[in-house]
Amino acid sequence: MNDILSPAAIEDTPDLETLTGPDDHDDLRLWLRLLTCCNLIEGDIRGRLRTEYETTLPRFDLMAQLHRAPEGMKMSELSRHMMVTNGNITGITDQLEKEGLVQRNKVLTDRRSSLIKLTAKGKRTFRKMADSHEQWIQDLLSGLSEKSRKNLFEALGELKLVAQTRLTPRP
Amino acid sequence: MNDILSPAAIEDTPDLETLTGPDDHDDLRLWLRLLTCCNLIEGDIRGRLRTEYETTLPRFDLMAQLHRAPEGMKMSELSRHMMVTNGNITGITDQLEKEGLVQRNKVLTDRRSSLIKLTAKGKRTFRKMADSHEQWIQDLLSGLSEKSRKNLFEALGELKLVAQTRLTPRP
DNA sequence: TATTGTTATACTCTATAACTATA
DNA sequence: TATAGTTATAGAGTATAACAATA
């Protein structure tokens, strides 16, 4: 496939939204449009994280959690925040620790737990990745009108609240 | 976790968007908000497809592709439309065929290809799933104001175009 | 030579569940 | 008993690559 889709190629590359026929309902089209946007962007981010930083979205996510918690986080906290089960946090943490990006620190008051922190190397690495990440997003969203960005932001805020209120959490 | 998050629980359950600090940029917050919404809804849909129909999103997606192509589709077409590689289509098609939901039909003009179609059972099954799917979405989005839905729809249309134009396709 | 589809393989992410060591 | 974390396992989803049959 080409790097940049030509208008003709866009016509020829149906996506999820084009699955709806002419008489399908608007809510469904709205959802498929949302899903398509998200998949396109997320796929792009995953690809860039892989090729430019040899990492993955869950690993990036875990480091982002630690970045905003300089005092460290427990495994169980990470599990709760990232909404995945405990064993998976162990696996990702193992990888990152092996690469010297995070560190398990024993906590004296509870010998079962440990506090996970970014190492100095982890902080440097994360800062670079996060800067790139933000740049990718800004480059993309700069193609959007100011009005659309504002509308999107507000409407998504409303949607997020509705979803968090009505939907059963995943795990 | 509780089925319905109380407001307090929402406060206690950070999501991706809360990763941004106070001085982070708006575009990043917009993207994380989009991602959070999509993950919440997609997770819910996946869960419902699994528990209520013992199926998955890619399987549902493949059946949806076939549903709008009553004349059938070639494996390579499915691969292109679903944006995954060929071997995966073979796998999903094998499963669906074993359950009698789709059928491989030999095509006379090219003995390498086959046309995949929904069987009668496949059509019935898909119609039920699709109706449920639309109902789930409507139930969720009914919590959104008319204005937000309209704004979302339009802004996402713009975003989709920008993303399709600027981003490298995944595979 | 190029394309269609299959097969084999490997890797990431995920959930479940059994386990340990503490509390 | 309950909690923190680990380990083991299984399964979905994906990409890569080698392959056979056909174009």
* DSSP designation for A116: E
Other Cβ atoms within 10 Å of A90 Cβ, number: 12
Same domain, B88 and B17: no
Q: Evaluate if residue B5 carries a pLDDT over 50.
A: no
Q: Does the beta carbon of B155 lie under 8 angstroms from any beta carbon of chain A? A: yes
Q: Evaluate if residue B35 carries a pLDDT over 70.
A: yes
Domain count, chain A: 2
Q: Mean pLDDT for each consecutive 10-residue tract of chain A (171 residues)?
A: 29 56 72 89 91 93 95 96 94 95 95 96 96 94 94 94 77 39
Other Cβ atoms within 10 Å of A160 Cβ, number: 19
Question: Of B81, B34, B40, which is closest to residue B58 (Cα–Cα)?
Answer: B81
Mean pLDDT rounded to a whole number for chain B: 85
pLDDT at B2: 28
First vs last C-alpha separation in chain B: 36
Give the SS3 label for residue B111: coil
Same domain, B141 and B81: yes
Residue ending a domain, among B39, B54, B69, is B54
CB within 8 Å of chain A, chain B residues 22-41: 24-31, 33-38, 40-41
Q: Evaluate if residue B3 carries a pLDDT over 50.
A: no
Same domain, B38 and B85: no
Q: Evaluate if residue B4 carries a pLDDT over 80.
A: no
Smallest Cα distance from B73 to chain A, Å: 13
CATH number where B66 lies: 1.10.10.10
Spanning CA of B73 to C1' of C4, the rounded length in angstroms is 13
Same domain, A14 and A41: yes
Residue ending a domain, among A36, A54, A72, is A54
Same domain, B105 and B35: no
pLDDT band for B164, please (50, 70, 90 cuts): confident
List CB contacts (< 8 A) between B157 and chain A: 33
Other Cβ atoms within 10 Å of A83 Cβ, number: 17
B89: left (phi over 0), alpha (psi -120 to 50) or beta: alpha
Same domain, A46 and A115: no
Helical (H) or strand (E) element with A115? strand A114-118
Same domain, B110 and B158: yes
pLDDT at A170: 43
Same domain, B113 and B70: yes
pLDDT band for B20, please (50, 70, 90 cuts): low
* DSSP designation for A85: -
Q: Residue A105 and residue A96: Cα distance in Å, rounded?
A: 14
pLDDT band for B19, please (50, 70, 90 cuts): low
Residue in A with minimal Cα distance to B13: A81
Residue in B with minimal Cα distance to A29: B153
pLDDT at B125: 95
Same domain, A15 and A69: no
Same domain, B45 and B61: no
Q: Do B5 and A165 touch (CB under 8 A)?
A: yes
Other Cβ atoms within 10 Å of B153 Cβ, number: 16
First vs last C-alpha separation in chain A: 36
pLDDT at A62: 96
pLDDT at A1: 29
What are the start-end ranges of the H helices in B83-170? 86-98, 120-141, 146-166
pLDDT at A95: 95
Who among B148, B156, B164 is closest to A5 (CB)? B164
pLDDT at A5: 27
Span B80-95, average pLDDT? 94
List CB contacts (< 8 A) between A167 and chain B: 40-41, 43-44, 140
Residues in CB range of A63: below 8 A, 6 or more apart: A96, A101, A102, A118, A122, A125, A126, A129
Instruction: Give residue A37's domain range.
Output: 1-54
Give the SS3 label for residue B114: strand
pLDDT at B22: 47
* DSSP designation for B170: -
CB within 8 Å of chain A, chain B residues 41-60: 41-44, 47
Same domain, A83 and A162: yes
Residue ending a domain, among A54, A70, A88, is A54
pLDDT band for B169, please (50, 70, 90 cuts): low
Same domain, B91 and B129: yes
Q: Evaluate if residue B137 carries a pLDDT over 90.
A: yes
Span B80-108, average pLDDT? 94
Q: Do A151 and B152 touch (CB under 8 A)?
A: yes
The 10s digit of each residue's pLDDT in B127-136 is: 999 999 999 9
pLDDT at A166: 84
Spanning CA of A85 to C1' of D22, the rounded length in angstroms is 48
